[in-house]
Amino acid sequence: MADKLASVADAVAALVRDGDSLVIGACLEAAIPFAAVHEIIRQGRRGLNAIAPISDAATDMLIGAGCVERVTGAWVGNVSGGLAHNYRRAAEQGLPHPIAIEDHSNFSLAMALMAGANGLPYVPVRSLLGSDILKTNRRLIRADDPFSPGKPVILVPACKPDVAILPVQRSDRDGNCHFWGSLVLVQEAALAAERVILLADEIVDTSVIVSDPNRILFPSFRVSAVCPARAGCHPSSLTGVWRRDTPFFVEYHTRSRDREGFLSWLREWVFDVEGHEAYLDKLGDRLERLRITGWAPPEPVNFAAV
Partner 1 sequence: MGYSPREMMIIAASREIRDGEVVFVGMRLPLAAFGVAARTHAPNAIGLFENGLARFAPAVEPFDTMSDPPNIHGAAWATGMVQIMGRLHAGQVDVGFIGGAEVDRHGNVNTSYVGDPARPRVKLPGSGGAADIAATCGRLLVIMDHEPKRLVERVDFVTSPGWLDGGESRSAAGLDRGGVAAIITNLAILRPMGPDHGMGLASIHPGVSRQQAIDATGWPLAVAPDAGETPPPTEAELAALRAIDPEGFWR
Does residue 77 belong to the site contacting partner 1 (CB under 8 A)?
Answer: yes
- Interacting residue with partner 1 among 45, 104, 178, 255 (CB under 8 A): 104
Nearest-approach distance from CB 196 to partner 1, in angstroms: 12
Measured CA to CA in angstroms, residue 81 lies from 68, 171, 246 at distances of 21, 32, 9
- Choose from partner 1, a second copy, none: what does 29 bind? Cβ within 5-8 Å by kind: partner 1
Say which entry of partner 1, a second copy, none residue 138 contacts (CB below 5 to 8 A, set by partner kind).
none
- Return the one option of partner 1, a second copy, none that residue 92 interacts with (CB less than 5 to 8 A, by type): partner 1
Query: Which is nearer to a second copy, 117 or 164 (by Cβ)?
Result: 117
Which run of H or E residues covers position 162? none
Binder of residue 188, out of partner 1, a second copy, none (CB less than 5 to 8 A by kind): partner 1
DSSP label of 212: -
Contact residues for 305 (Cβ-Cβ < 8 A; gap 6+): none
Residue 305 makes contact with partner 1 by CB under 8 A: yes
- Least separation in angstroms between residue 251's CB and a second copy is 22
Q: What angle do CA 178, 222, 172 make, to 5 degrees?
A: 40
- Per-position b or e across 23-48, b if 16+ CB within 10 A of its CB: bbbbbbbbbbbbbbbbbbbbeebeeb
d(CA 263, CA 245): 21
Residue whose CB is less far from partner 1, 120 or 273: 120
Spell 76-110 as b/e; 16+ CB within 10 A means b: bbbbbbeebbbbbbbbeeeebeebebbbbbbbbbb
Partner touching 146 among a second copy, partner 1, none, CB below 5 to 8 Å by kind? a second copy
Compute the least distance from the CB of residue 32 to partner 1, in Å.
Answer: 10
Note whether 186 and 23 are within 8 A (CB): no
Residue 138 — φ and ψ, nearest 5°? -80, 0
Residue 271 backbone dihedrals phi, psi, to 5 degrees: -70, -35
Residue 70 found at the interface with partner 1 (CB under 8 A): no
Q: Which residues are near a second copy by CB under 8 A?
A: 111, 119-126, 141, 143, 145-148, 151, 153, 155, 157, 169, 178, 180-181, 183, 204, 208, 211-212, 214-215, 239-241, 243, 292-306
User: Is 293 a residue that touches partner 1 (CB under 8 A)?
Assistant: no
Return the bridge partners of 154, or none. 125, 142
Rule CB under 8 A: say whether 306 interacts with partner 1: yes
Cis-peptide, bond into residue 213, ω within 30° of zero: no
The residue among 240 and 261 lying less far from a second copy, judged by its C-beta, is 240
Q: Which 111-150 residues touch partner 1, going by CB under 8 A?
A: 111, 114, 116-120, 125-133, 135-136
Length of the chain: 306
d(CA 302, CA 158): 37
Considering CB distances under 5 to 8 angstroms, the limit depending on partner class, which of partner 1, a second copy, none binds residue 186? Answer: partner 1
Binding status of residue 25 toward partner 1 by CB under 8 A: no
- Name the residue nearer to a second copy (CB basis): 44 or 213: 213
Residue 24 CB, shortest distance to partner 1, in Å, is 15
